[in-house]
Every structure is written in C-alpha cells, then in structure tokens.
Amino acid sequence: MSNHKSLTLVGEGNKGARIHDLVKAPANTPWAKARQQSWDANEPATVYFTPETLADGTPTSAVTVILRTKGCHWWWSSGCTFCGYFNDTRDDVTNEDLHAQWAYAKNKFDDFKDHGMVKVYTSGSLLEDREIPVPFQETVLRDCQELGKELIVESRCEQLTEEKLEWATSINTSFAVAIGLEAYDDEVLRFHVNKGFTTKSWDRAVTNLQKYKIRVKTYLMFKPPFMNEADALLHGVKWIEAVADRSDEISVNPMNIQRGTIIDRLHRHNEYRPPWLWSLVEMITRAHPTIHPQGTGNGGAGQVSRLIVHPTAGGRVRGAHNCGACDSHVVAAIERYAVSGDIQEFDGLACDCQKAWAEEVALEHALPTPLGISKPRRGNLLNALRAP
C-alpha cells in the first residue's frame, strides 16, 4: 500500500493555527514593543477637526480627539483580525496622563469654542473601567455637557449595561455611542473578525442605549478577511438593512490594511485585495432605498438612518481602490453622498475598470472561490480553494 495521501478540501490533517495566536504574534514583536514605548503619554495620538452634522441635521464641525490609552481589553485577551490599534497604545497610561492629554486637546482648540461636536476615541471603549479610569470617563462626559458640545464616544457592546448608562446619562444628557459591530452575522463575527461578541450582544446594547435615549452609531466593515468581493457586496447590503432602523447613523468602513494585523499578512501574501470603490458605489445604490425610502436625502422626510461611507486610504493599494485613474472621482462622490444622501452623486461616474470589477464579481458569484479571484490574489491556488 502506498503512503500517498490525496489532498482534500479539508487540509492534510495538520492541526490548524489558532486565530488567537495569529492575531497576537505581531503585537509581541520587538518592533511593536519599541514603538509602544516611544509614545509620549502626555499628548493625545492626534487631534483634528472635520465638517460634521449635529443630531438635528445642522452643519457644524467636530473635533476628533484620539487619546493615547492602554488600548482595548478584548485586544489584551485576543483581538480582532484587522485591528492595528495596538500600534498606537502604551500599557502604562495613567489617569493623570489622560487628563493631561485631554487638557492638551481643549487648549489646542480653545475649549472647542468654534465646534459643535467632540469625538473622543480611545482605541477601545471609553466606558470600560479596565481601560479608562472612571474619573477620566467622568471628566469627558462632564466637560462636554458643560461646554454644550455633542459628544461621540466609541464602545464595544458589553460595557453598555443599564447601570453604566444610567450613571453616564446622569452626567451628560446628549451623547452618542459608536459601536464597532462590523457585521450583523454571527459566523462572520466569529470566524472572519474574531470580534468576541455576538449580534445578540449588539441587540441588547442598542435596547439599553435606546432606553436612555442615547444615539446609536453603528460601524460596519466592508469586506472582512477571508471574504471575496461578491460576498462582501451581498453581506454589506444585508447588514445595513438589518441595523438601519435601530441606528441613527451607519458608518461603513471599507477595509484598509493596518500594520501587523492578520489582514496585513493576507494582503502581503497576495491573498486579499481591499475592496473596489465600485463595490462601495454599488452597495450604497442597493441600500439607498432602505435608508431613504422616499428618496429625499439626508435630513429629508422618511429618513430611516444616515449612511456614511468613508474610504480610509481610498485610492491607495492598502485602502479601497479601483484602477488608479478614476479613484479620486469615485472617492469624492462617495464622500459627497455621506453629506447629502443623494444617490445622484453617482450619476455620470464611469471608467473602463468598471468592466473588470463587474466581471470579477460575476465570476465570484459563479465559482467556489471564497478568497476571491482578483489579480492581487494569486497566492497558492490549492490553499485558496481549501479556504473556509
């Protein structure tokens, strides 16, 4: 009898790598450790402002304060497959450091006097006591209340208990919570994202937020790891439809490749192409009737939610991109849609590469190619076919 073993679609009998180990490996490398220690804990990672819209639709500008923190507690124990926030954190940040960072931001923008909104991002959850000392949570909530600024903070689901929200709303009566849900699909959350919570925990968190009249912003991810373009498009539209009536705002983040992540490795191995900008246009076009059933645009009658797509690194190899020639026009139209909610922003957009994109999506619908067939995915064909 020969020892020849035929290859099967389920591998060669070797034990599979744990996703946890794959996620953690780069964070423990000497370059990552050295980088973490290089940050000044007294200054925020960045502070800048951008045009925004208040909850009632009034145009304003928003200061975004990205704080240098200890990072996300889910990252400490495992971590999401695309999250590169560990690059920006230091594990010894104290309450005093955070207060110094906050004072720096307020000082830089004169107590935010020319801005109606403040977004405070912590590379994790502001309301998580293990990450952010409670006195600092209180400072942010209280200052924004006293200064009369609409506040947006980010959080995972498990912190948003009735008890925590009761406490937070006793200090600040007008804030919004942005949750990185990524996908309204438990399989995708578990096997593609390694999110560490389920759609049920999002359901519960949203019920609690609504009980305390806190606005809900939902982040969805377009094209998570181990997914082809055609599936990303189908899922992207489905997830928007699933969360629209429970989200005041839906922000779809097209995958951009952050250093040291699983998606970074897939990308380097030519096994992942960031989304096409055409897919984003198509996703918005398909989801638009759900968001604006009366076709009236942002602020119009019957608006169910607000849909924002912001292609970070749009047009670059590591962000959502097309052929290179048409990218800036398409990115600009997508950004305009986020402001207007008017589907006509996409009228007249055209480029030869649209054919290649359409062909790719059609083939991926027709063939069993979970990792996709786009040119930058010319990795090992057998591995691609075997992929889950």
**Does the protein bind Zn ion through residue 333 (CB under 5 A)?**
no
74 vs 337, beta carbon nearer ligand SF4: 74
d(CA 321, CA 353): 11
- The values of phi and psi at residue 21, to 5°, are -65, -35
Instruction: Determine, following the binding rule CB under 6 A, whether residue 79 of this chain makes contact with ligand SF4.
Output: yes
Between the alpha carbon of residue 320 and those of residues 84, 278, 287, 288, 334, the distances in Å are 17, 9, 19, 20, 12
CB atoms under 10 Å from CB of 351, counted, come to 18
Binding partner of 326, given ligand SF4, Zn ion, none, CB within 5-8 angstroms per partner class = Zn ion
85 binds, among ligand SF4, Zn ion, none (CB under 5 to 8 A by kind): ligand SF4
State the Cα–Cα distance between residues 286 and 236, nearest whole angstrom: 10
320 is a contact residue toward Zn ion (CB under 5 A): no
* 176-205 binders of ligand SF4 (CB under 6 A): 180
Is residue 323 near Zn ion by the rule CB under 5 A? yes
CB of 63 to ligand SF4, least distance (A): 21
Q: Which pair of structure tokens corresponds to residue 210? A: 């609504």
Name the minimum Å distance from CB 180 to ligand SF4: 5
Note whether 127 and 136 are within 8 A (CB).
no
Residues in 119-138 that interact with ligand SF4 by CB under 6 A: 123-124
The answer to whether residue 80 forms part of the interface with ligand SF4 (CB under 6 A) is yes
Q: Which is closer to Zn ion, CB of 117 or CB of 326?
A: 326
Cβ neighbour number for residue 318 with a 10 Å cutoff = 16
225 binds, among Zn ion, ligand SF4, none (CB under 5 to 8 A by kind): none
Report the C-alpha gap between 58 and 247 in whole angstroms.
Answer: 19
353, interface contact from ligand SF4, Zn ion, none, CB < 5-8 Å by kind: Zn ion
Q: Interacting stretch for ligand SF4, rule CB under 6 A, among 73-81, 252-260, 279-287, 375-383?
A: 73-81
Order of strands, sheet of 59-66, starting from the edge strand that comes earlier in the sequence: 46-53, 59-66, 117-121, 150-155, 175-182, 215-222, 249-254, 307-309
Q: Please choose which of Zn ion, ligand SF4, none residue 124 contacts, taking the beta carbon within 5 to 8 angstroms, the exact cut-off set by kind.
A: ligand SF4
Which 3 state secondary structure label does DSSP give 121? Answer: strand
Count of alpha carbons within 13 Å of 126, Cβ hemisphere only? 26
Q: How far is the CB of 156 from ligand SF4 (least distance, A)?
A: 5
Q: Using CB under 6 A, which of 45, 72, 183, 188 touches ligand SF4?
A: 72
- What is the smallest separation between the CB atom of 369 and ligand SF4, expressed in angstroms? 27
Closer residue to Zn ion (CB): 141 or 326: 326
275: contact with ligand SF4 by CB under 6 A: no
* HEC profile of 22-69: HHHHHHHCHHHHHHHHCCCCCCCCEEEEEEEECCCCCEEEEEEEECCC
* Structural tokens at position 90: 């230091």
Q: Which lies closer to ligand SF4 via its Cβ, residue 159 or residue 354?
A: 159
Among the listed residues 322, 338, 341, 361, the single contact to Zn ion using CB under 5 A:
322
What is the rounded distance in angstroms from the CA atom of residue 365 to the CA atom of residue 32? 39
- Residue 220 in contact with ligand SF4, rule: CB under 6 A: no
Taking a C-beta distance cutoff of 8 angstroms, is the pair 228, 364 a contact?
yes
Q: By C-beta, is 193 or 326 nearer to Zn ion?
A: 326
> Closest Cα partner for 218 from 254, 191, 188, 243?
243
**Residue 311: CB minimum distance to ligand SF4, A:** 18
Closest CB to ligand SF4 among residues 197, 276: 197
Residues in the site for Zn ion, rule: CB under 5 A?
322-323, 325-326, 351, 353
Using CB under 6 A, list all residues that contact ligand SF4. Answer: 72, 74-75, 79-80, 83, 85, 123-124, 156, 180
